[in-house]
Chain A
């Protein structure tokens, strides 16, 4: 059980980090999502792994699982979901606007993008 969860977190994190070091928006966003899955499972594990135990008080039960990480994970899931949606929208806008989905600065296009800002902003 512990080995399974730990290796799942490790593999998700490794995959996420690898994808995030790519240069284009899509793999980077995929990597970001993998990493958030990894951190969600990690948060679950931070309350210790207890199988089949309820998180809230009940009669005739003496073993409980820690309820707080579940609340934390819920918050983290909601936030990371929203953030992923935002980054997809901004990434799409940037791609459609400049026909280029690199996440890094492209030296050869820097000059004309600077002109576009000046026109768009003034």
Chain B
């Protein structure tokens, strides 16, 4: 048993208090440690992803207590891929925060950033539902601090809504965990998978309630309509680098749905039959439609990006709700795309705000540094709206292809294609108002020129765009890997037996002892 798998959680957990205690007055030292920590995380995450890419399951029993009595961390292809995605995203977001000076506008940005990473990494790696709750709380409480970073009334007000909505979500999560424990007597995911399969068809009330409650909780995290109301104002009011990091938080919800509803409540399980196709799929299609309509209706650039996140989560969830290996593979490809594109768009919106004073979608004098910003916005919008040649288009094709064999193919195709059109119009309108109409506005002579964004900001955004291009160029390899991930998810027997059968401290000795 190697200890590397706990490193993505322990490293930020140690770094954050160090930054608070030892370097609180030295922004330079904070930045250096934060960047070094994130680079180390990328290295560790790459190692873990490499280790699990052959299909092996890495199990870590804390204090050597065997599951289900101890808490376990489990790394498989899916969780290590998500950890790697988080670490890579964190690096570019951090570079942007440093370049734009956002981290110096309030206290403890870097410490909260590290705690946030710890929570996200833990949520991806844990093999225990209650532990998942705890890591959700870790990432949430760090996100509350980050969300109101640098203060301001509008931000605090949005922060209150965000915190309250998530507290309700956490309480629901506890209710779900309580009912699961009352029904099965365990909270370890692999052990649960075994025990839920043994529940007879006559005694399913409690476990059905638990399955639906759990789905609600994860749907809140994934901002699925009608549980999306917290997202637009909180993402729009949050500081740009924070909003960009939050792009991965909705994916934590998607990850949890994939994990729990392929392993514990698989689609063929009679107890929860109908949950996916009758509830999740329509909600996902509604999210896609409402997100893209919101893009068209938004009056501010940051709200527009927030609604595009809802729309892209809708696309991810449509693909997940099919619950076929092809659908999950398409969803995983789209999750990577949507995380990178959403984060890039939030950062680009901040580039616009830096050179322009506000986010209103009205014609105003040209943005400082407008050619480069406009170019980046163009690329980001193409990616998010799903136009060729970028990965959004390929992801959408994969989703359409995965939906081809289902009964609801007409609905899915109509909504995916129709909402794409609406999204394209929304992005085109925003781009033309922001960048083209600006040239017809007279600049008053006494106007003070707005500052240009720093070079490092452009490097960070450019890096994310480059990753998107890479995601497009290597689409074959990425999708191939996503397919093997989906294959592993739909054959959970090795995962379950690794977790349940590995002996630990005080386990019964084996026969040869």
Interface residues of chain A, those whose CB is within 8 Å of chain B, are 20, 25, 28-29, 32, 35-36, 39, 42-43, 45-48, 68-69, 72, 75-76, 79-80, 82-84, 86-87, 90-91, 93-94, 97-98, 103-105, 113-118, 120-122
Contact = CB atoms under 8 A, between A and B. Distances in A.
B152 A120 contact: yes
Contacts of A39: 171, 174-175, 178
Contact of B233 (A28, A68, A105): A105
B164 A118 contact: no
Nearest to B173: A39
B394 to A, nearest CB: 35
Contact of B174 (A43, A90, A121): A43
Contacts of B496: none
A25 B150 contact: no
Contacts of A114: 154, 300, 358, 360
Interface centre among B140, B157, B167, B357 (most CB of A within 10 A): B157
Nearest to A71: B130
22 contacts: A32-B171, A35-B171, A42-B174, A43-B178, A43-B181, A47-B182, A72-B181, A79-B137, A80-B170, A80-B171, A87-B167, A93-B156, A105-B233, A114-B300, A114-B358, A116-B152, A116-B153, A118-B353, A118-B357, A120-B152, A121-B353, A122-B353
B137 A69 contact: no
B91 to A, nearest CB: 24
B160 A121 contact: no
B175 to A, nearest CB: 6
A91 B130 contact: no
A116 B65 CA distance: 53
B237 A117 contact: yes
B151 A120 contact: yes
B177 interface: yes
Given A86-B163, A114-B358, A97 B156 contact: yes
Interface string B130-171: 100010010011001000101111111101110110011011
Given A32-B164, A114-B300, A122-B357, A90 B159 contact: yes
Given A39-B174, A43-B178, A122-B354, A83 B167 contact: yes
Given A25-B160, A75-B134, A94 B153 contact: yes
Secondary structure of the B contact surface, majority rule: helix
Interface in B334-387: 353-354, 357-360
B130 A120 contact: no
Given A69-B181, A83-B137, A86-B163, A97 B171 contact: no
7 tightest A-B CB contacts, nearest first:
A120-B152, A94-B156, A46-B182, A97-B153, A46-B178, A113-B154, A118-B358
A80 B154 CA distance: 25
Contacts of B177: 43, 72
Interface of B: 130, 134, 137, 140-141, 144, 148, 150-157, 159-161, 163-164, 167-168, 170-171, 174-175, 177-179, 181-182, 233, 237, 239, 300, 353-354, 357-360
Contacts of B137: 79, 83
Contact of B168 (A20, A47, A72): A20
A50 B332 CA distance: 46
Contacts of A36: 171
Nearest to B355: A122
Given A46-B182, A87-B167, A114-B358, A76 B174 contact: yes
B190 to A, nearest CB: 17
A97 B148 CA distance: 13
A98 B181 contact: no
A98 B159 CA distance: 13
A85 to B, nearest CB: 10
Contacts of A32: 164, 167-168, 171
B150 A121 contact: yes
Contacts of B182: 45-48
B134 A91 contact: no
Interface centre among B137, B151, B156, B237 (most CB of A within 10 A): B156
B327 to A, nearest CB: 34
Contacts of B141: 82-83, 86
Contacts of A122: 353-354, 357
A28 B357 contact: no
Contact of B175 (A28, A42, A87, A93): A42
